[in-house]
Amino acid sequence: MLRFLLIQLTQFQKRFIDLLRISIFLVMLWIGGLKVFPYEADGIVPFVANSPLMGFFYNKPAPEYQQYKNPEGKEVAVNKAWHVANGTYVFSYALGAVIVTIGLLLFMGIFFPKIGVLGGLLTFGMSLVTLSFLISTPEVYVPNLGGDFPTEYFGFPYLSGAGRLVLKDVIMMVAGLICASDSAQRIINKS
């Protein structure tokens, strides 16, 4: 029985990699699509503003955004005006389009291996950029809030919710390489 299961797992490997492509596409479609909504655009500001790779896309300097944070699901008029002036929403729309496009390229690797190689490598590259936020964004670690019950559990390695969200891109990075490798193997097998 165990041997049968092992054989079945190996025989379905190609289908599992295609399911991986589909799952990554769904994640990128959903997350990229959400970039058109102000709450999502506002939410990525700490990552982009502090990033040496992306900060130049905004018009305002990095620490300034902290004064204009909108609570998730709520818009404050003065904060929204700041985000418009910062270029927050325009950048978010463009980033969403890029994310959806990369996901689509990866998905198309099911049918077109050359496009799949590109999609896999772009997924890898996008994940590297996202993981760089663990170095550049202060909000990815639990802050020292002090108070009546001070704790030693702040800063590195204690990830905040934002940090846990970013760390998951390690999986996306490796999945992109697996998909690119599979597509490359299919190209080689055809030649």
**Interval 138-159 mean pLDDT:** 82
> Which two three-digit tokens encode residue 85?
């002036």
CB 135 within 8 A of CB 122: no
Angle between helices 113-131 and 169-190 (to 10 degrees): 160
Closest CA to 144 of 135, 136, 153: 153
Report the SS3 class of residue 171: helix
Considering the chain, what percentage of its residues have pLDDT values greater than 90? 84
Whole-number Å distance between alpha carbons of 145 and 55:
26
pLDDT given for residue 18 in this prediction: 97
| Greater model confidence, 147 or 30 | 30
| pLDDT tens-digit map of 38-65 | 999 999 999 999 999 999 999 999 989 9
> Which two three-digit tokens encode residue 105?
């390229």
Q: How confident is the model at residue 164 (pLDDT cuts 50, 70, 90)?
A: very high
| pLDDT tens-digit map of 143-153 | 887 766 666 78
| pLDDT tens-digit map of 59-107 | 999 989 999 998 888 889 999 999 999 999 999 999 999 999 999 999 9
Q: Which of 5-9, 125-129, 168-172 has the lowest mean pLDDT?
A: 5-9
Whole-number Å distance between alpha carbons of 129 and 176:
13
> Which two three-digit tokens encode residue 32?
């990229």
Q: What is the CA radius of gyration of the chain?
A: 20
pLDDT given for residue 73 in this prediction: 81
pLDDT given for residue 148 in this prediction: 66
- Which phi and psi angles does 65 have, rounded to 5°? -60, -25
pLDDT at 19 over 70: yes
Whole-number Å distance between alpha carbons of 163 and 156:
10
75, containing H or E segment:
none
